[in-house]
Chain A
Amino acid sequence: MSEIVLETEGLTKYYGDSLAVDHLDLEIPRGCICGFVGRNGAGKTTAIKLMLGLLEPTAGSSRLLGCDSSALTPAIRQRIGYVTEGHRLFRWMSIAGLEKFQRAFFPKQWDDKFFTDMIEYFDLPKKKKIKHLSNGQRAQVSLALALAPNPELLIMDDPTLGLDAAIRRQFLEGMIGLIMREGRTVLFSSHILGDVERVSERIVVIDKGILRAYCSLEQFQEAVKKVIFTFADSVPNEVNIDGLLHCKRIEKQLELTLVGTDDEQIAEWAKSAGAENHTIVKMSLEDQFIEFTAPANQKRLFKWEER
């Protein structure tokens, strides 16, 4: 396995009595785009702020590019890009002013031409003040500011929230463009599963502060499935099958949502339970995510073995 550029170990955060992030253990290797998903309030923003050292953890630790998040040196910070939720930029500044301001933090690797080309591509006048830009334009400036220093590790907190399809696509293009350069890594949170599916190689799923899945996107898509079993007489009362998430009974049919159960196990169970037949239903990533994070009795971490 390649070098780990983002690592958390038992990372935990309480706000008073409420637990926002619960013992998060993550290891993100260099060179991938990692989609970070979870429902509203799942703890994504808190987790990101902890990783960047903007919040102090209640317990546990995290490391970016091998450096503890609580003690990131300027030299390390220069290699990391961060896009905040809502693209908060100094409102009184012009685009050119922000460019100058931001460039000062990345003296070695700021790419003037890249920034200017991107702003031109977005058709934004550099003299314009941030406060006079629309939300979408502000997001575009924020994207250009994040990419211009050619960051080794780019962390974006829900960067496409509330943006139109065209600007969302520009963010995706920006991520793909960055990853094409050697050794760049991106972690981005999003609620738009279609975007996550498009660009991510790996996904992190958290729910109520707890890590629920961390694997390649393909493994997640293969792992979560819905199976409908049809019985001749009645549906069995006991359902005992590995990886059971949800169980629904509809007359003579039994609908199971399973995670990590392979097709042979399903066929075996169908036989032993006396099912007449069974169908494995294909699911979209969005449906898989909804089923996976829906309240269930058994909640387990799904971590596929690295092949």
Chain B
Amino acid sequence: MPLWIQILPGSDEPIYVQVTEQISEAIARGQLASGDKLPAVRKLASELVINPNTVARAYSRLEQAGLVTTKTGSGTFVSDPKMRRSDAADINMLAERMDTLITRGLNLGMGEQDLIRLFESRLTKFSKKSNKRKEEK
């Protein structure tokens, strides 16, 4: 599996957050599909030159979020999207984040249609990749 994770020390995001977010994004974009195995903690730590505990923490965050499951002895795997839980609180939090972005857009002088177009164009970045992956299979 290609190593797409980039660590930026000195950022205001702790390294375990950087790892968590980049893996989450890879799952969202379909670069990692359901059932794919994540690299072993120690292997990824060596490759990224970060503390193994940092990788373990990132994996456990991903597990808490329901994005991966760890099978004892065999590793950590991307979970089935159908099995992921999303409750009202999660959706509510997402809505609040969107509000922040919409506010920024309106402050920049964008109109409603501009925002919708922008949202759609960003969305295709995620769906295209996952479609490509399906075609490859």
Residues of A within 8 A of B (CB): 33, 169, 172-173, 176-177, 179-180, 193-195, 197-201, 217-218, 221, 282-287
Contact = CB atoms under 8 A, between A and B. Distances in A.
A217 B12 CA distance: 14
8 contacts: A176-B45, A180-B52, A198-B15, A198-B51, A199-B49, A199-B50, A282-B12, A287-B12
A91 to B, nearest CB: 31
B16 interface: yes
Nearest to B13: A282
Contacts of A284: 10-12
A285 B46 contact: no
A281 to B, nearest CB: 8
Prevailing SS type, chain A contact patch = helix
Contacts of B50: 176, 198-199
Interface in B48-74: 49-54, 57
A180 B44 CA distance: 12
B109 interface: no
A30 to B, nearest CB: 14
A286 B11 CA distance: 9
Contact of A180 (B9, B10, B46, B57): B46
Nearest to A169: B49
Contact of B51 (A33, A221, A287): A33
Nearest to A193: B10
Contact of A218 (B11, B14, B42, B52): B14
B49 A283 contact: no
Contact of B57 (A169, A176, A177, A218): A218
Contacts of A177: 46
A286 B57 CA distance: 22
Contact of A194 (B9, B12, B13, B53): B9
Contacts of B9: 193-195, 197-198, 285
Most B CB contacts (10 A, CB to CB) among A172, A200, A284 go to: A284
Contacts of B42: 180
Contact of A197 (B10, B52, B53): B10
Given A180-B42, A218-B57, A198 B49 contact: yes
A279 B10 CA distance: 21
A285 B51 contact: no
B7 interface: yes
A179 B16 CA distance: 18
Interface in B1-37: 7, 9-16
Contact of B10 (A179, A194, A282): A194
The 4 closest A-B pairs by CB, nearest first: A194-B9, A282-B12, A194-B10, A197-B9
Contacts of B53: 201
Contact of A176 (B10, B13, B15, B51): B51
A176 B14 contact: no
Contacts of B51: 33, 176, 179, 198-201
A176 B7 CA distance: 15
Nearest to A281: B12
B16 A176 contact: no
Contacts of A287: 12
B103 to A, nearest CB: 14
Most A CB contacts (10 A, CB to CB) among B9, B11, B13 go to: B9
A176 B12 contact: no
Given A180-B42, A199-B51, A201-B53, A218 B10 contact: no
B64 to A, nearest CB: 15
Contacts of A201: 51, 53-54
Contacts of B15: 197-198
Given A176-B46, A197-B14, A199-B50, 20 more contacts: A33-B51, A169-B49, A172-B49, A176-B49, A176-B50, A176-B52, A179-B51, A180-B46, A195-B9, A198-B7, A198-B49, A198-B50, A199-B49, A201-B51, A201-B53, A218-B14, A218-B16, A221-B14, A285-B10, A287-B12
